[in-house]
Amino acid sequence: MAADLQDFDAESIYFEQPLEEEAQRCIERSAEAYGSKKGESQLLRAYFLAPEHPVVLVALYRYYFYQHRLDDALRVAERVLTLYAAKLKLPSDWRELSPEHLGSVAMASITTLRFYLHALKGAGCIELRLGEYDTALARLERVAAVDESDRLGAGALLEVTRAALNEKQTQM
């Protein structure tokens, strides 16, 4: 059974999971000092306080992504994939992920599954920007393969990316 990745209304969103107050304050202080060493250090402190919390991981990812520190953003995405594959009892290697894995996982937590798949797609997008096309396409293809209805947009992104890469190759 294919999981409908848009069917999550009745379940709490992962951002609603309780976050320790001090970690939340660190994220708020980081926002106030965005772009400075203090901003980053506050995010890292939040990470040490709550290293598996999705809010902290998303904050770190966004910080590094918007600072154009793509290697660091990719490390955060990889951390999400490692942590959440274990939490969801998915294969530790995303290349082994199949639609069959999603059926039972979706019944337990569709929002956590969406978080994992967004991290996989995000890692692919970063790798595209880094010029790591083979791995990027493999990640996006995996998301598209398990998200048969293309609810997360990986299939559409793959089409655009392949067209751009083909055009780039014909210009060479």
- The rounded distance, in Å, linking the Cα atoms of 69 and 79 is 16
4 inside domain: no
Q: What is the pLDDT of residue 14?
A: 54
The Cβ-side half-sphere exposure at 133, using a 13 Å CA radius, reads 10
pTM for the structure as a whole: 0.87
Mean pLDDT (the chain, rounded): 89
Q: What is the pLDDT of residue 8?
A: 39
pLDDT tens-digit readout, 73-123? 999 999 999 999 999 999 999 999 998 888 878 777 888 899 999 999 999
90 inside domain: yes
- The rounded distance, in Å, linking the Cα atoms of 92 and 86 is 7
138 inside domain: yes
33 inside domain: no
Q: What is the pLDDT of residue 39?
A: 93
Domain count, the chain: 1
Q: Give me the domain span that covers residue 83.
A: 53-171
CA–CA distance from 141 to each of 5, 16, 18, 36, 152 (Å)? 16, 30, 33, 36, 12
